[in-house]
Amino acid sequence: MISLDDDLLASNPLRENTVEHRIALPSIMVIFGATGDLTQRKLLPALYSLASDQPPLPASFTVVGVARRPWSTEEFRQKMEDGVKKYARAAYDEELWKTFSAGIFYEQVEFNDINAYRHLAETLTQLNQERGAMGNRIFYLATPPSYYSDIVRNLGAAGLASDSPQNDGQGWNRLIVEKPFGYDKATAKALNAELGEVFNEDQIYRIDHYLGKETVQNILVLRFGNYIFEPIWNRQYIDHVQITVAENIGVEGRGGYYEDSGALRDMMQNHLMQLLTLTAMEPPTGFSANSVRDEKVKVLHAIKPMDTSTLLKNTVRAQYAAGITSTGKYVPGYLEETGVAKQSKTETFVSAKVEIDNWRWAEVPFYLRTGKRLPKRVTEIAIQFKRPPFSLFRKSGAEELQPNILSLRIQPNEGISLKFGAKSPGQAMRIHAVNMDFQYGSSFGAEPPEAYERLLLDAMLGDSTLFTRRDETETAWELVDSIKAVWENFDSDTPMQSYEPGTWGPQAADKLIETDGRFWRRL
Ligand code: BG6
C-alpha cells in the first residue's frame, strides 16, 4: 500500500489546475437534445455536483434545455431532479436543489427552424440580464450527430456564435460536441469544416469522456511527475503494452445507434486511442492545451500503416451470443437486441495489434481489446517489461519468474500496481510474483469527481487540454478506417465470429497475442 505523499503532489504537472484556480465565471449552458439520456444521467448530475463543490459554480449559473419535445420548464426540472437524485456524485440536498433548479429552463426548438433560434436568442438575452450571466454561453450538442450541422448553422445565423457584438462586446460563446465525431475520417473532416465556418477552433470542445477520468489524467502525472519511470519507458525495457477496455453490459437498448458504430467506432477510435496516445506520447514542453495535443497527434501519425494481409492477421472482431452470464442471468445475443438487423455484421468485440513506428516504440506491440458482455467492467493499461537478460536463479525456479508489469487501473478500483519477483520465505531460493499497490480510494480517501464534472468545468474555464483537437479527431480515424475497409472489402464473406457472454471474446483474440508468444492478462 502506498500512502499520500506531499512530495508527489508538489511535482504534479496538473498543479496549476488545483481547486483554488478553478473558479468558473457566470454562464448559460444551452443543451441541445436535453430530453435525452445523457442530460439526465450525466450532464445535470455533473453540474449539480459542481454546484455543491467548494468553490461552487456561480449562483447565477443557468441551464437551458433545448429539444423537440413539448416539455415545460417544470417538467424538465422534475426529470432533472430525478436524474440528480439517482446519478449525482454529490448527495441530494433539498435546499441546494431549490437554488440550483431555479436556474434551469426548457425551450422547445425544431433544430432546422431558424425562427426557433431567433426566439432562443431572445430568451438567452433575457436570462442573461435577469441572472447576470455576463454574456457567456456554452452550447452543448447532445443530439444525434445528424442534427449537428443544422444546429451549428442556425446558431451562426441567429448571431449566437460570435463572441461579440451580440453580447455588447462582452462574454464568450463556446461549443461542446459529443461523440461520435463523424463516421470516418471523411465525415469527421466535413463536420469539422462545418463547425469551423461558424465557430473558431478555440471555441470548440470535442468531448471524449475518458479524458475526464481522474486516472486517465494520472497517466501524465505518473509519467511526467516522477523521474523513475520515464528512463525505462521505451523499447529497451518494455516488451509490449496491453490496453483493455472491457464492459460486462450489452448494448442496453442502444442497438439502433450501435449498428452503425460497432466496437471499433464506439470505443476504439476514441477511448482506446486516447489511452494509447497518453501512454506513448513524448513529454510535452508544457501543460498547455496545444503542447499536450501536439504530442498526442504525433503518436497517431506514427502508428504503423498495415497492408491488407497484416490488417486481417492483426485484428479480430466478434459479436456476443446469447447465453448465461457469470451471475447466472440469461442474456440475449447481439442479433436479438432491439434495433439490430438479423444479419448484422456489427462487431461488439474488437482486438488489434498495433505498432508505433518511432524511436521510442519501434517493434513494441500494443495489443488493444474492447468489448461488451465480457466477464467484468475493467479498464487497464498494462506495461509489460522485458525479462532479465540472464537468468541467475534458473536452478532455483527462475524459469517461473514472471516479467515485471506496471498496470494502470483506470476503472474500477482505480490505482497502479507494480508486479515484481520476491524471494519467498524459507531455505530454498524460490521466487514468487508479488504486487506493490497504490489505490486511489484508500490513499486519497475521497471519491474522484465524475469525468463530466471535470470536462464541463474545463469548458467553462476555457481549458481545452482534455478535449480533442480538430487534427487529432481526424487522424484518430485513420487506423479505424483502414481496419473497417479491410473487413468490409476483404473479409465480408467470412462469417462473424461469436463469443459467449462472460468470456474474454473469441479464441481468435487469444491467438492474436499467443502467436507472438505472449498472453492476455487475466483481469
Ligand atoms: C461510451 C460508449 O462512449 O462509453 C458506450 O458509447 C460505452 O458504448 C461507454 O458503454 C463506456 O464508458 P465508461 O465510462 O462506462 O467506461
Q: What is the pLDDT of residues 172-183, one digit of tens each?
A: 999 999 999 999
**266 CB within 6 A, ligand 1:** yes
What is the pLDDT, as a whole number, of residue 507? 96
Work out the pLDDT band at 164, boundaries 50, 70, 90.
low
| Ligand 1 center from residue 10 Cα (angstroms) | 33
pLDDT(165) > 90: no
Q: Using CA atoms of 412, 413, 418, 421 in order, give the dihedral in degrees to the nearest 10.
A: -110
What is the pLDDT, as a whole number, of residue 395? 66
123 φ, ψ (degrees, to nearest 5)? -60, -45
Which atom of ligand 1 is the closest one to the Cα of 251?
8
Which atom of ligand 1 is the closest one to the Cα of 271?
3
Are β-strands 330-331 and 137-141 bridged in parallel, bridged antiparallel, or unpaired?
A: unpaired
Q: What is the pLDDT of residues 416-433, one digit of tens each?
A: 999 999 888 988 888 888
Instruction: Let me know how many helices (H) and strands (E) the chain has, helices first.
Output: 18, 17
Q: For residue 440, what is its C-alpha cell? A: 486511489
pLDDT(98) > 70: yes
Section 388-410 average pLDDT: 79
Work out the pLDDT band at 381, boundaries 50, 70, 90.
very high
175 three-state secondary structure? strand
| Ligand 1 center from residue 245 Cα (angstroms) | 9
End-to-end C-alpha distance for the chain, whole angstroms: 20
**247 CB within 6 A, ligand 1:** yes
pLDDT(18) > 50: no
pLDDT(398) > 70: no
pTM value is: 0.93
Contact 28, 62 (CB under 8 A): yes
Q: What is the pLDDT of residues 262-279, one digit of tens each?
A: 999 999 999 999 999 999
Q: Which of 422, 407, 387 is nearest to 523 (CA)?
A: 407
Amino acid at 115: N
Give the ranges where 393-469 is alpha helix by DSSP (H).
Answer: 440-444, 451-461
- Which residue puts its alpha carbon closest to atom 2 of ligand 1? 266
The DSSP symbol for 3 reads -
Q: Is 21 tagged catalytic?
A: no
What is the pLDDT, as a whole number, of residue 396? 60
Q: What is the pLDDT of residues 276-322, one digit of tens each?
A: 999 999 999 998 899 999 999 999 999 999 999 999 999 999 999 99
Which atom of ligand 1 is the closest one to the Cα of 254?
8
- Which residue puts its alpha carbon closest to atom 4 of ligand 1? 267
The CA-atom distances, in angstroms, between 299 and each of 28, 267, 283, 342 are 36, 18, 12, 39
What is the pLDDT, as a whole number, of residue 490? 84
| Ligand 1 center from residue 79 Cα (angstroms) | 22
The CA-atom distances, in angstroms, between 509 and each of 359, 381, 499, 512, 523 are 28, 17, 10, 5, 15
| Ligand 1 center from residue 267 Cα (angstroms) | 7
pLDDT(477) > 50: yes
What is the pLDDT, as a whole number, of residue 2? 43
Q: What is the pLDDT of residues 182-222, one digit of tens each?
A: 999 999 999 999 999 999 999 999 999 999 999 999 999 99
